Chains A and B, each alone.
Chain A
Amino acid sequence: DAKTTQPNSMESNEEEPVHLPCNHSTISGTDYIHWYRQLPSQGPEYVIHGLTSNVNNRMASLAIAEDRKSSTLILHRATLRDAAVYYCILRGRNFGNEKLTFGTGTRLTIIP
């Protein structure tokens, strides 16, 4: 599986935008980019995913570099509830390759 690299931790002030980076220089042309987050004492939850184009949903935006070797998860206005570990994951599109491989993620701290 292609690997992703994320900073171990980040801090952001409440009510400000947060940009969480992810490098995936060995991404293949068929890999989707997925983001999950894990709140304290909970299982991970899906945030967003994309292939080539930028994506928006109610939780966040995903900006994908033109060469697809990096991406950025954007939380437009961080709240205290956004404090979590954020995982950037590559998922192949080949049938039979079904597992998601998590790294250690970025621990996001929100400062009130």
Chain B
Amino acid sequence: GAGVSQTPSNKVTEKGKYVELRCDPISGHTALYWYRQSLGQGPEFLIYFQGTGAADDSGLPNDRFFAVRPEGSVSTLKIQRTERGDSAVYLCASSLTATSLNTGELFFGEGSRLTVL
């Protein structure tokens, strides 16, 4: 289908390792979001891109987390020196334009489940 694609679907790593999670948004969508969801909680906002630039990174928990979107389409969330507390499902979503300019509908992927041992 033409939905939001996230890879890998599952990632198991050891404490202290570096991890990259990839998001391929719906073609033509300029807005891209990363969220993190822990068990039993709602999704927690991490970062929002409009085009290539990070327009709002206020949700990134610390400087171990970084995200890029160099060509305005695919985005990579990078986590350095992973900790057990980083274990969660990382969700990516895209929207045709900035949500304030449209219906506000975000299209989510199925997420990447990260487990840090």
Complex interface bits, B34-50 against A, C-beta within 8 A gives 1, otherwise 0: 01000011111100101
Are A98 and B109 within 8 A (Cβ)?
no
Instruction: Report the interface size for chain B: residues with CB under 8 A from the other chain.
Output: 30
The distance from the CB of B58 to the nearest CB of chain A, in whole angstroms, is: 8
Q: What chain B residues lie within 8 Å of A99 (beta carbons)?
A: 33, 45, 48, 56, 59
Query: How many residue pairs between the two chains, A and B, have CB atoms under 8 Å in the bound complex?
Result: 68
- Give every chain A residue within 8 A of B4 (Cβ-Cβ): 43
Contact B109 A43 (CB under 8 A): yes
Report whether A103 and B98 are in contact in the complex, using a CB–CB cutoff of 8 Å.
no
Do the beta carbons of A103 and B59 come within 8 Å of each other? no
B111 interface hit (Cβ, 8 Å): yes
Chain B neighbourhood of A101, CB < 8 A: 45
Residues 46-68 (chain B) with a chain A CB within 8 angstroms = 48, 50, 55-56, 59
Contacts of A45 in B (CB 8 A): 108
Question: B86: CB under 8 A from chain A?
Answer: no
From B43, B48, B50, B107, name the one whose CB has the most chain A CB atoms within 10 angstroms. B43
Q: Which chain A residues (39-86) contact chain B, with CB distance < 8 Å? A: 41-46, 49, 85
Q: Which residues of B lie under 8 Å from residue A105 when comparing CB positions?
A: 42
A94→B100 contact, CB < 8 A: yes
Hey, what's the 0/1 contact readout for B73-117 against A, CB within 8 Å counting as 1? Answer: 000000000000000000101000011110111111111000000
Q: B42 contacts A102, CB within 8 Å?
A: yes
B110 lies within 8 A of A98 (CB) = no
Distance in angstroms from B116 CB to nearest chain A CB is 20
Of all chain A residues, the one with the shortest Cβ separation from B6 is: A43
| B26 located at the interface, meaning its Cβ lies under 8 Å from any Cβ of chain A in the complex | no
Pick 6 A–B contacts, CB within 8 A, sort by A: A34-B104, A43-B91, A46-B105, A98-B100, A102-B35, A104-B41
